[in-house]
Amino acid sequence: MRPVRHPPLVIAPHNITEIWAVAIVLLRRHPLQFVGSALVLTFASYLLQEAWRWMVTPLETAPDTDLGQYFQLQGLSALIGTAVSMAAFALTGALQAVLVVQAMVGRPVTVRGALHLLARRIRAVLGVTALLTVVPQLVVLGLVVALVAYFWPTLAPMLDALASSGDGLVPPLPDGLPSSGSDRVPAFPSSPSSDALMPVLITVVPTLALVIVVWLLMTLALMFAPVTAALEPLGFGGALSRSAMLVANNLLRIVGILLLEILIALPLCLTMALPLGLANLGGLALVTTVFPVSAENLPWVPDLISLPVNAALAVFYAWSVAVLVLLYIDIRIRKEGLAADLRERRTAASDAPAEDE
C-alpha cells in the first residue's frame, strides 16, 4: 500500500508562529512517522536510564555510603541521564530532518525511506550522536573536577563548619513510612547554621551556574549538528562546524525562539504535573485497596499511570524537534537560497512514480 500524498508544504521564509504551525501540520499529517519515532527513541532512553538507576540505587542506599559519595553518585547519574537524552535527541533530529524534507519536496513521508537515506550518511550521523552523547558531559565533568580542586582548600573548612553547625544527624525513617528501599539516608546536619551555610552557597552556586552556562553554550552551538549531518554532504567535523556557524550567524533569533518554546513548555509541564500527582495517589490507593500489599511493593504503578503523560510529552518533543528542523531550513532559505533547490526536487518528485526514496 502506497503512502498517502499530502499537499506539499509552502517553500518560503516563515516567521516563528508559521514555523510552529507547519510543525503541527506535519505531526497531524504524519503522526506515526514523527510522533511514533520520537516515542520509540525517548522510550529507549527511558529504559537505559531506568537500568542505570536500578544499578546505582543499591550503592546510594548502602550503609557505608557517606554524604560525599551519595552526591557523587547523584552527579554521575545526572551526567549519564543527560548523555542518554542527548543521544535520543541526535537520532530523532537526524531522522526528522529527512522526514521534513520528504514532506517539503512532495515525496512520500515514510520512516523506511528516511532510514534508507540516512544509511548514506550513517558515519556522520553516528559521529555526531556519539559526540553529543559524550563530549559535553565529559567537558562538564572535567570542569567540575578542576573547579573542585581549585576551590577545595577554601571550601573544605566551610563544609567542616557546616557539618559541625547542626544539632545532630537526620534519624532513620520511622516504622511504617514507605521508603525507596532503605530506612537509611545519608547523614547531614539537620539544622545547619545560616552563618556556616552562606559561605558555602556563595562559593557553590556561582560555580554550578558557570558549569550550566558552559554546557548550554556547547549544546547551543551543536543544536543543528544532527540535521546538518543528515542533510548536507559533510563529514563528522564539517557537520559540527557547520552547526556552530549557523547558530553564531543567527544567535539572537535562535535564542529567542528557544526561550519562547520554554515559556510554552513550562505551563504545559505544570498543567500535567498536578493531574499526574493526583492520578498516582489515586491509583496507589485503588491498587492497595484491591490488593493486600503495601505501596512500596508496587513501584510499577506510578510508571503505569504516567504513560499517558509520557505520551503527551513525546508529542511535544516530536513537535520541538520538527520546529528545530524547520528553523534550520528557514535559515538556509533566507540566507543560502535553499528554496530553489527544494523546488527543483519537488518538480522531480512530481514527475517520478510514487515510491520511497
* 134-148 confidence digits (pLDDT tens): 888 888 888 878 877
Residue appearing with cell numbers 520554554: 262
pLDDT in the model for residue 330 = 93
In the chain, which stretches have pLDDT less than 50?
1, 166-192, 295, 354-357
Nearest Cα neighbor of 222 from 188, 245, 194 is 245
Would you state the pLDDT for residue 284?
Answer: 56
Query: Whose CA is closest to 38, among 327, 357, 328, 316?
Result: 316
**C-alpha dihedral (85, 91, 92, 98), degrees to nearest 10:** 160
Taking each helix axis from N to C end, the angle separating 111-119 and 67-105, rounded to the nearest 10 degrees, works out to 100
Q: What is the pTM of this model?
A: 0.76
Nearest Cα to Cα of residue 105 among 34, 8, 18: 8
**DSSP states along 314-339:** HHHHHHHHHHHHHHHHHHHHHHH-HH
Cβ neighbours around 155 below 10 Å, total: 17
Report how far Cα 33 is from the mean position of its chain's Cα atoms.
Answer: 19
Residue 322 has a pLDDT of: 92
Query: b vs e for 328-339, b when ≥16 Cβ sit within 10 Å of the residue's Cβ?
Result: bbbbbbeeeebb
Give one DSSP letter per residue of 219-260, joined into a string.
Answer: HHHTTTHHHHHHHSS--HHHHHHHHHHHHHHTHHHHHHHHHH
Residue 98: burial class (beta carbons within 10 Å; 0-12, 13-18, 19+): buried
Q: What local confidence, expressed as pLDDT, does residue 25 receive? A: 92
pLDDT the model gives residue 301? 55
Question: Given this model, what pLDDT does residue 274 score?
Answer: 62
The residue type of 248 is A
